[in-house]
């Protein structure tokens, strides 16, 4: 067996200035676009992934078990640029309040058999989801064409056993100039949020509240529209939502909180205010305004998209829905202002939110409990709402007064990797789900536990393999305490304890993973793992090179042919040539120097870009190759950083990087452009030739690495000597 080394998954992380230091224990990783986490009474975590997997995690051992796979409509790596169902998939999970006894869980997902989002109840049998147990509670018809997005998908039980589900407006936001998508023209269905969020007779753009029963659900009292009200749906608790992402319910007051992902408009204009993200608070059922108002009830005018004329301004106290596709009430309930709102730029009202990309989420409300093992905050922060930011990688604490109004707002923790869900565990610690570094198709999502730094730093451990024997490579405790290493094997939906010690031998059988858990004398843990089986490998590309000179030199051409058992779409094929000098470090690809990597991280650049993989925006290497050889490249990129923009690399806009100092912008741009040194590429064809890079000052006599890549394929790479 090939020897592998698993790095420690436990580390210490400092919180923001002014907040107490926190310890972050990484318990499991390798998730594929994880969407939401639920905590079981026995302490296990249940995680859903966008493409349909449901996982159980044992936080004490790091064991991760696939307990089911739900058939869903979702964007797949086989067609990553599809404009159909861009944000569909398995979106949310909640465990039944009586889960310990009935083993029931609720999933919200994009049904593959109908064009609708579905809320279903499933029951576990022998630790796995029993497909035959599915009870379909609710189906919400949607559209999936023409880049529609915003599906929300958070599922949460309140303390009274009522179930809340968030659903987005299911609208294309990219052709409304960053303001209200209220396109009333014929054949513009997917561009009109009046039909969904602003429609009292439609469940999209809403947070619904129901009471599950043995055979379905009932409507609880106190929803926005009494049952039987003409032109309304009684399930609606909150309406006027754009993309309500991650909800939470105060366990004492039952107040509902949610993060609202806002539109992209950068400036105020005659067509409406600039875009804002929101954190909303609903003490009772209400209308939160979209697509007619935003933020603290900043109003949009009714716009005629046919003539571009601006008409009647919305009255937040008495909003109306004039849309031709509105099947509900024309006169809507009064619009409720947001609790927190902030644009791309600095917020005058909430300066602690900072600036840059935005994607608001709402987490739990903290209450100090001296009888609990852990209090993540002090007694002075009793009744504090924790919100977090997917794009900015931060957690914020919003201290609430007795009337649940904000007394103080400040950063609590930062430098997170797209935080996706945040839940309070019964011991008082926080469970953090991180989505991973990319926008789609992550394989590095993770779940961690956050706890106050009590002076006991977690241990570290790495392990190695030789045949079927596994041993500790390195293990240490920062305080010099005694460590106990316990070994586990993953076997289906359970795990087998092998014992303790520095070395173990794996018995005969079929296992997915081996783990070593290092525990110090105060109970802090670190986990190292080595996979023992490949679960669903990718198809592989093959690369053939034509006849070339014995050692091709700079500026010459190399013929190539890309092959595969099942060929990818030709337009997705990318062939690159990279020069590798005969001396020096070959890291396997371009990378930033350490100081530039720190600068990019501190400037939040890596929330949207990676060096050699696309996230929200293009990879930095793609940018470098596009501008390679252009004399004005540095000036053009500096202007793009200053002004922001959209459309060059896709629909998602880049906000102006106003916080980046000019001297740091120069350093970052120079580092980006330097990534393409010695590299060339060609795209969109499986057969052709690639011209090698011109001479760039590197020592001759190295090698050329030729690679072929396509989404959802294992790449092909080969090296040939260079002149």
State residue 650's pLDDT score: 60
Residues 6+ apart with CB under 8 A from 329: 200, 201, 231, 232, 321
State residue 535's pLDDT score: 44
Chain-centre distance for alpha carbon 27: 18
Beta strand spans in 113-205 (E)? 116-125, 128-141, 155-157, 163-167
Tell me yes or no: is domain 542-721 CATH 3.40.1160.10.
no
Range with the poorest average pLDDT among 384-388, 530-534, 651-655: 651-655
Instruction: Indicate if the pLDDT at residue 16 is higher than 80.
Output: no
Instruction: Indicate if the pLDDT at residue 684 is higher than 90.
Output: yes
- Rounded mean pLDDT, 297-320: 96
State residue 668's pLDDT score: 82
Nearest to 492 by CA among 532, 441, 448, 432: 532
Instruction: Give the alpha-carbon dihedral of 285, 152, 35, 256, to 10 degrees.
Output: -10
Calpha distance 527→512 (Å, rounded): 16
State residue 653's pLDDT score: 64
**For the chain, how long is the longest CA-to-CA vector?**
82
- Which tokens is 158 given? 């309140």
What would the DSSP string read from start to end of 580-624? E-SSS---SS----HHHHHHHHHTTGGGTB-SSSBSSS--HHHHH
Nearest to 89 by CA among 157, 165, 152, 173: 152
- Which tokens is 103 given? 């083993």
Assign domain 22-452 to its CATH architecture. 6 Propeller (2.120)
- Rounded mean pLDDT, 483-499: 95
State residue 587's pLDDT score: 43
User: 108 pLDDT band (50/70/90 cuts)?
Assistant: very high
Instruction: Indicate if the pLDDT at residue 688 is higher than 60.
Output: yes
pLDDT digits (tens, 9 = 90+) for 494-525: 999 999 999 999 998 889 999 999 999 999 99
pLDDT digits (tens, 9 = 90+) for 404-420: 999 999 999 998 989 99
Return the domain boundaries, the chain. Answer: 22-452, 460-531, 542-721
pTM for the model: 0.80
Calpha distance 387→261 (Å, rounded): 13
CB 54 within 8 A of CB 93: yes
Range with the poorest average pLDDT among 69-83, 341-355, 372-386: 69-83
Chain-centre distance for alpha carbon 494: 28
Q: Do domains 22-452 and 460-531 have the same CATH topology?
A: no
- Rounded mean pLDDT, 341-367: 95
Tracing tokens 């869980």 back to the chain, one arrives at 105
pLDDT digits (tens, 9 = 90+) for 560-607: 999 988 898 898 899 999 888 765 444 456 777 777 777 776 666 655
State residue 657's pLDDT score: 67
State residue 646's pLDDT score: 61
State residue 643's pLDDT score: 67
Class of domain 460-531 as given by CATH: mainly beta
Nearest to 575 by CA among 550, 553, 551, 546: 546
- Rounded mean pLDDT, 149-160: 97
State residue 79's pLDDT score: 84
Specify the higher pLDDT residue, 75 or 652.
Answer: 75
Range with the poorest average pLDDT among 225-234, 569-578, 614-623: 614-623
Calpha distance 707→589 (Å, rounded): 11
Please give the mean pLDDT across all residues of the chain.
89
Residue 292 burial (CB count, 10 A): 29
State residue 46's pLDDT score: 98
User: 17 pLDDT band (50/70/90 cuts)?
Assistant: very low
User: 652 pLDDT band (50/70/90 cuts)?
Assistant: low
In which element (H, E) is residue 516 found? strand 513-519
The residue count for the chain: 723
Is residue 161 reached through a cis peptide bond, with omega within 30 degrees of 0 on the bond before it?
no
- Rounded mean pLDDT, 660-678: 80
Instruction: Indicate if the pLDDT at residue 336 is higher than 80.
Output: yes
- Which tokens is 579 given? 């020069």
- H-type helices in 469-590, by residue range? none
Starting at the edge strand that comes first in sequence, how are the strands of the sheet with 716-721 ordered? 679-683, 574-580, 703-709, 716-721
Instruction: Indicate if the pLDDT at residue 9 is higher than 50.
Output: no
State residue 580's pLDDT score: 80
């Amino acid at each position: 067996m090939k020897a592998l080394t698993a790095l420690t998954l436990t580390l210490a992380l400092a919180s923001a200035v002014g907040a107490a230091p926190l310890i972050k224990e990484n318990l499991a990783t390798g998730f594929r676009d994880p969407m939401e986490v639920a905590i079981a009474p026995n302490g296990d975590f249940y995680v859903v992934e966008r493409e349909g997997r449901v996982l159980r995690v044992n936080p004490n051992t790091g064991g991760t078990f696939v307990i089911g796979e739900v058939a869903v409509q979702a964007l797949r790596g086989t067609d990553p640029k599809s404009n159909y169902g861009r944000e569909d998939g398995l979106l949310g999970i909640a465990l039944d309040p009586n889960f310990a006894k009935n083993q029931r869980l609720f999933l919200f997902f994009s049904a593959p058999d109908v064009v609708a989002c579905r809320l279903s109840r499933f029951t576990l049998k022998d630790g796995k989801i029993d497909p035959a147990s599915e009870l379909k509670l609710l189906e919400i018809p949607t559209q999936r064409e023409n880049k529609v997005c915003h599906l929300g998908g958070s599922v949460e039980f309140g303390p009274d056993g009522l179930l809340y589900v968030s659903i987005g407006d299911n609208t294309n936001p990219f052709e409304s100039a960053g303001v209200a998508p209220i396109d009333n023209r014929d054949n513009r269905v997917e561009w009109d949020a009046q039909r969904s969020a602003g429609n009292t007779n439609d469940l999209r753009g809403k947070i619904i509240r129901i009471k599950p029963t043995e055979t379905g659900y009932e409507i609880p009292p106190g929803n926005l529209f009494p049952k039987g009200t003409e032109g309304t749906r009684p399930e609606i608790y909150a309406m006027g939502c754009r993309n309500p992402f991650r909800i939470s319910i105060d366990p004492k007051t039952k107040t509902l909180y949610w993060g609202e992902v806002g539109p992209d408009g950068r400036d105020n204009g005659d067509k409406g205010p600039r875009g804002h993200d929101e954190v909303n608070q609903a003490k009772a059922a209400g209308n939160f305004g979209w697509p007619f108002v935003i933020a603290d009830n900043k109003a949009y005018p009714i716009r005629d998209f046919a003539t571009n004329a601006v008409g009647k301004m919305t009255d937040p106290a008495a909003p109306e829905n004039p849309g031709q596709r509105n099947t509900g009430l024309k006169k809507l309930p009064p619009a409720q202002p947001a609790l927190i709102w902030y644009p791309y730029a600095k917020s005058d009202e909430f300066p602690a939110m900072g600036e840059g990309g935005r994607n608001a989420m709402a987490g739990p409300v903290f209450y100090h409990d001296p009888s609990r093992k852990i209090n993540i905050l002090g007694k002075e922060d009793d009744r504090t709402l924790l919100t977090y930011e997917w794009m900015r990688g931060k957690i914020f604490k919003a201290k609430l007064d007795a009337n649940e109004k904000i007394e103080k707002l400040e950063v609590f923790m930062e430098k997170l990797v797209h935080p996706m869900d945040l839940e309070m565990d019964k011991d008082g610690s926080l469970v953090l789900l991180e989505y991973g570094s990319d926008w789609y198709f992550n394989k590095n999502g993770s779940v961690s536990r956050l706890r106050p730094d009590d002076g006991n730093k977690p241990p570290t451990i790495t392990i190695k393999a030789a045949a079927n024997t596994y041993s500790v490579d390195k293990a240490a405790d920062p305080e010099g305490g005694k460590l106990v290493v316990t070994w586990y094997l993953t076997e289906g939906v359970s795990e087998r304890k092998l014992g303790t010690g520095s070395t173990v031998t794996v018995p005969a059988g079929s296992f997915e993973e081996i783990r070593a858990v290092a525990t110090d004398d105060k109970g802090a843990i670190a986990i190292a793992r080595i996979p023992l089986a490949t679960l669903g490998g990718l198809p592989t590309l093959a690369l053939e090179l034509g006849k070339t000179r014995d050692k091709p030199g700079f500026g010459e051409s190399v013929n190539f042919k890309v092959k595969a058992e099942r060929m990818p779409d030709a337009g997705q094929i990318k062939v690159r040539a990279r020069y590798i000098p005969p001396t020096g470090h070959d890291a396997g690809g371009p990378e930033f120097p350490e100081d530039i990597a720190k600068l990019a991280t501190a400037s939040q650049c890596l929330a949207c870009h990676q060096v050699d993989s696309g996230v929200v925006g293009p990879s930095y290497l793609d940018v470098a190759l596009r501008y390679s050889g252009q004399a004005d490249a540095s000036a053009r990129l500096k202007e793009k950083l200053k002004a922001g923009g959209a459309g060059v690399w896709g629909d998602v806009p880049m906000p102006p990087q106003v916080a980046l100092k000019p001297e740091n912008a120069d350093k970052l741009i120079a580092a980006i452009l330097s990534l393409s040194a010695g590299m060339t590429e060609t795209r969109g064809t499986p057969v052709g030739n690639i011209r090698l890079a011109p001479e760039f000052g590197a020592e001759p006599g190295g090698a050329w690495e030729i690679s072929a890549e396509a989404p959802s394929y294992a790449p092909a790479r080969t090296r040939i000597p260079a002149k």
